[in-house]
Structure 1
Amino acid sequence: MKHLKHLLGIALFTIAAGTVYGCNLKPREFKNTTLMTKSIADKPAKQFVKIALLLDTSNSMDGLINQAKAQLWDIVNEFTHAKCGNEVRPSLQIALYEYGNDNLASNEGYIRQVIGFSSDLDEISEKLFSLTTNGGEEYCGQVIQTSLKQLDWGKNADDLKMIFIAGNEPFTQGRLNYRDATSNAKEKDIIVNTIFCGNYEQGISTKWKSGATLTGGEYMAIDHNKQIVHIDTPYDDIIIKLNGQLNGTYISYGALGREKKALQSVQDSNAAEMEPAVAVKRSISKSSRLYKNSNWDLVDAVEDSEEVLAELDDEDLPTELKGKSEKEIKQYVQSKKIEREKIQKQIQGLNTKREAYIAKNQKEETGELENALLSAIKNQAAKKNYKWD
């Protein structure tokens, strides 16, 4: 999805050596070489776009949760095409909160951090699929403030930091005034975007628009119960088949590796159970640079640092590599890397054809939540010179 109407971003990128430009491309002025060297050394090695999703999980929000589950991969895939300033590609970090659910602790304001900022796409998917709904009190100001306190937002002025809060009760509920929470967000350079699940004018009258404009964010109203429209294409079955082959290139190591490899398959199944098109979108995400698993997959780990091989015990290795020399393991990992890159390239090529087919045959917009998220993020990212190609 490279259409300008589909947007989204979450970005993390390495600053090129010797560069003294932020994502905003504004050069920094230095009086002498010593000061310039110091500034480069002090500048964070990475920049981030961090997005916290705060989802109402009260009884009426089943449709919202289903949209989030189905459209996660559209959002990820859009970010594959993002770049910032010096053309370096960004990565992805998402945090997830649920609020307004009677199953949550009342002394915590019926609020729970589901997952902190993470780039682990399988785990983010797992946490989304774990959400269930139940009636409760919905305290928008308090959940915003909780996310401000609990999450590591960082202090880099070039980072793009956003909160998206979605729900359908008045924004004014709870003891903590939403104006105080949004003021705290603005002080931290965090933009609050609000998504009212219902009538646009009703959202305004219940202060959802006010909650966004106080930080320069966007107010949106969506039909959270709208049926998501997916277009089947002639390329879907081939992409899903290639995804199975792609899984075969992952070499798990250690106890975490066994768990994560199993989780990879579970999340494939979760996507497929929603609809085949969702499984296709997840497969496309897995073929992108954003699907990185260095903490459990040897191919990704060795790409980061070959030293990991010298640190492995035989018991940490999968059956096919037990008793092998470091040289033999290295050769095996390299062969899997080559195989993976070939499959990923095939999937990306088929996706180009798939997108063209969808563009030709699509008669209406896709997911309500997806469009709201992507539109706001693209607009706000543009202010810091993030671009999409």
Structure 2
Amino acid sequence: MQFIKKVYLLSVLTGSVILSGPAHSEPANNSAQVNGVEVVFVLDTTGSMNGLIEGAKRKIWSIANTIVDQNPDAKIKMGLVAYRDIGDDYVTKSFNLTTDIQGIYANLLTFEADGGGDAPESVNEALDVAVTKQDWTSESSQQNVKRIIFLVGDEPPHMDYKHDRKYPVVLKDATQKGIIVNAIQVDGTTETTRYWKEIAKLGNGKYIAIPQDGGKVVDIETPYDDEIIQVQAALNNTVLAYGTKTRKVAVENKKDAYRAATKSSAAEMSKYVNKSSKGAAVVTGKGDLVADMNKGLKLETIPEQELPEVMQKMDVEKRAIFIQEQNAKRIELAKTLKEKVEKRDAYVLEQKAKMQKAGKTKDSFDTVVEKMLSEQIKGK
């Protein structure tokens, strides 16, 4: 053990440390392997969409896990575009595609249904922002990346606005970029149906209608949720937030998100982070010293004032040992979490089968999105 610590300390001092973590499984030898999945939700946030937005907040982690379950080696990015109309608090509010899914979740939590009251809405501008302003990976830089948009709303687009590009032109851009555009209609009028069906057709996607409340999205609580949340709390204690004050606060906020979420959402969040990082991370995005050193960060490059407060008064040797200890705890806890998540998955699968048989999830927002993702990522 002392030998390991000395070797570890030497590597820290020479700037070459890579903390040992859970073994990463080798990607399957499959020529059709998906290397990346990029999903942008374009959501109408006017007053009539309150039920859908609240459902999306609860089920975004279930949707994220659908992707990671089927594509464990793919780089997953999500983005958001909220839209209303001219005269409301905003026309569009965009959050760029990112691998920091907890950051996207935090932004989604800020969405509130308000405004509107008159049809149509700024659908054209929202689609334009999603297709042309989001940071999509170019086909030339990475092969076999699936790019998918979900337009979700209940009112047709303004076709009388002279300042914006109309959806037929925008969807040509989407096709050239290899972006599939799906249209999910939340109740609405027959006029909305006509436009939504055409948008899906031009976007090489699918059209589907769901109820105004998002299809009565149901949280499935399990006997394993409390255990998962307890393990997650212990894992959160291994996080060492570093960097600027703003970034440290952001990392702490992500830890707090677990406590604020419903039991099922917190468990789904734990599963996503554990599985997508193969147990090496506790929060998504940068700012956790343990995770970032696993990726090759050199400890000596961090100014002392940007280190975690608990480490600032330590000498170099104690800092190295402290990080090693946190990482060792994380490895063991991540294994425990993985086992509990697997048991939870089996329970949820059984409950979903019962609900589907009873027709309780047929038209829910999350079920519709998960089915579309499964089919379109596979290329069907």
Please classify the TM superposition score into its range, dividing by the shorter chain length.
0.7 to 0.9
Q: CA RMSD in A?
A: 2.9
Give 2:186's aligned amino acid. Answer: C
Match of residue 22 from structure 2: none
Residue among 106, 111, 119 paired with 2:92: 111
Q: Does 1:295 align with 2:286?
A: yes
User: Is 1:128 paired with 2:105?
Assistant: no
1:164 corresponds to 2:150 = yes
Residues 306, 262 of structure 1: alpha-carbon distance in 2 compared, 3 angstrom cutoff: closer
Report the Cα distance in structure 2 between the residues aligned to 1:238 and 1:133, rounded to whole angstroms: 34
CA–CA separation in structure 1 for the residues paired with 2:190 and 2:368: 17
- Residue of structure 1 in register with 2:41 after alignment: 53
| Closer/same/farther in 2, CA of residues 58 and 260 from structure 1, 3 Å limit | same
Structure 2 CA distance for partners of 1:306 and 1:135, relative to 1, 3 Å: closer
2:263 maps to 276
Contact 1:140–1:174 (8 Å) recurs in 2: no
Measure, in 2, the Cα distance between the counterparts of 1:52 and 1:164.
6
Q: Structure 2 vs 1, CA of residues 205 and 320 (structure 1 numbering), >3 Å: closer, same or farther?
A: closer
**Aligned residue for 1:155?**
138
Judge which range, 253-262 or 118-127, deviates more.
253-262
Are 1:96 and 1:116, in contact at CA under 8 Å, matched by a contact in 2?
yes
Q: Is the contact between residue 66 and residue 374 of structure 2 (CA under 8 Å) also seen in structure 1?
A: no
* Structure 2: distance between partners of 1:325 and 1:130: 41
Deviation at 1:327, TM superposition (A): 3.5
Q: Deviations over 1:52-80 (max 9, x none)?
A: 11000011001111111001111222233
The superposition leaves residues 36-62 of structure 1 with CA deviations (integer Å, 9 ceiling, x where unpaired) of xxxxxxxxxx95322111000011001
TM (normalized to structure 2)?
0.79
Match of 1:218 in 2: 206
**What residue number does 1:95 align with?**
79
Q: What residue identity is the alignment partner of 1:228?
A: V
User: Once the 2 structures are TM-superposed, how far is the Cα of residue 334 of structure 1 from its aligned partner?
Assistant: 2.1
Q: What is the CA-CA distance between 1:294 and the residue it aligns to?
A: 5.7
Tell whether the 8 Å contact from 1:172 to 1:206 is kept in structure 2 after alignment: no
Q: Give the SS at the match of 1:161.
A: strand
Name structure 1 gaps, 5 residues minimum: 1-15, 26-45, 385-389
**Alignment partner of 1:207: what SS?**
helix
Amino acid at match of 2:133: Q
The answer to whether residue 74 in structure 2 is matched with residue 81 in structure 1 is no
Aligned equivalent of 1:370, options 351, 366, 370: 366
Structure-2 separation of matches of 1:93 and 1:48: 8
Amino acid at match of 2:373: I
- How many aligned positions are there? 334
Give me the whole-angstrom Cα distance separating, in 2, the residues matched to 1:56 and 1:341.
41
Which residue pairs with 1:387 in the alignment? Answer: none
Cα-to-partner distance string for 1:276-304 (whole Å, 9 max, x where unaligned): 22222222223233465462101111011
Change (3 A) 1:326 1:266: same
**Alignment match of 2:255 (pick from 248, 265, 268):** 265
Partners of 2:69 and 2:99 lie apart in 1 by 16
2:221 pairs with 1:232: yes
TM-aligned CA deviation for residue 165 of structure 1: 0.6
Query: Normalization by structure 1: what TM-score?
Result: 0.77
* Cα drift, residue 360 of structure 1: 3.0
Query: SS at 2:331's partner residue?
Result: helix
1:139 equivalent among 122, 134, 148: 122
Q: Secondary structure at the match of 2:80?
A: strand
